[in-house]
Structure 1
Amino acid sequence: MLNFTSRTTYYLSSTPTDMRNGREGLAGIIREKMQHDPYSYDEAFIFYSKDYRKVKILHYDINGFVLYQKWFDDGKFFKPRFLETARCHKISRETLILLLSTSVQSEIIL
């Protein structure tokens, strides 16, 4: 089960992701592009679609992967604009909740 706790470290992909990717495809992106271990139980990885209407979060708990998905019917997620170049960006629990709960036509600076 995915719990949005402050003990979990959240990493947001710096580029849009093909939402056809499932658990294995996203785990490969985590290993190859983000250079993290997808089996780390204290980390969660956030991916967003090119049109900013879909998001997926992959997390490994004690006995397997949890894949959380959200699609906005109206509006979009905040478009992330990064101040630095990196493969992924560490974000706070509060920023994650803001990204998941807000449907807007704007951007958020991270």
Structure 2
Amino acid sequence: MILPGGVTRAYLATRPVDFRKGHAGLALVVQNVLGHDPYNGAVYLFRSKRGDQLKCLVWDQTGLILIYKKLEGGAFAWPKPADGVIRLSPAQFAALFEGVDWRAVRAERRQRPRLAG
């Protein structure tokens, strides 16, 4: 993965954003629209209107990192545009970033082992 240490928290903004926005503009969206702290170390994902581009914004304790990706010959799988944010698991984030339908990724639910007694 591009980000060092792996992704622990990822949030997907459900509304498209103006892709002319850079680090500061997207940090303001995280703060004012999503209600999160852009400097908390989580990855924030933003989509373009056409759905074939994404931007990732993350604070790595030394500065804001902005990653831009455009799929050639396809589009990312996005939820229907609505106000808000969706939390993604690390596996869902990896699938989305690769251009795979992340909505099909489900965590296996394991039952808690019983203690011998």
TM-score interval for Structure 1 and Structure 2 normalised by the shorter chain: 0.7 to 0.9
CA RMSD of aligned residues (A): 2.5
User: Within 5 A, what are the aligned runs for 1:95-110?
Assistant: 95-102=92-99, 108=103
* Larger strand fraction of residues: 1
Are residue 93 (structure 1) and residue 94 (structure 2) matched?
Answer: no
* Deviation digits for residues 28-81 of structure 1 (CA, Å, limit 9, x no counterpart): 00000100001112x110001111110000000121011111001211111224
Q: In structure 1, what residue type is equivalent to 2:27?
A: A
Q: Residues 57-68 of structure 1: matches in 2 within 5 Å?
A: 57-68=56-67
Report the identity percentage: 28
| Structure 1 alignment gaps of length 5 or more | none
Unaligned runs of 5+ in 2: 106-117
State TM-score, norm by structure 1: 0.81
TM-score norm. by structure 2 comes to: 0.77
| TM alignment of 1:76-87, pairs within 5 A | 76-81=75-80, 87=84
Aligned length: 104
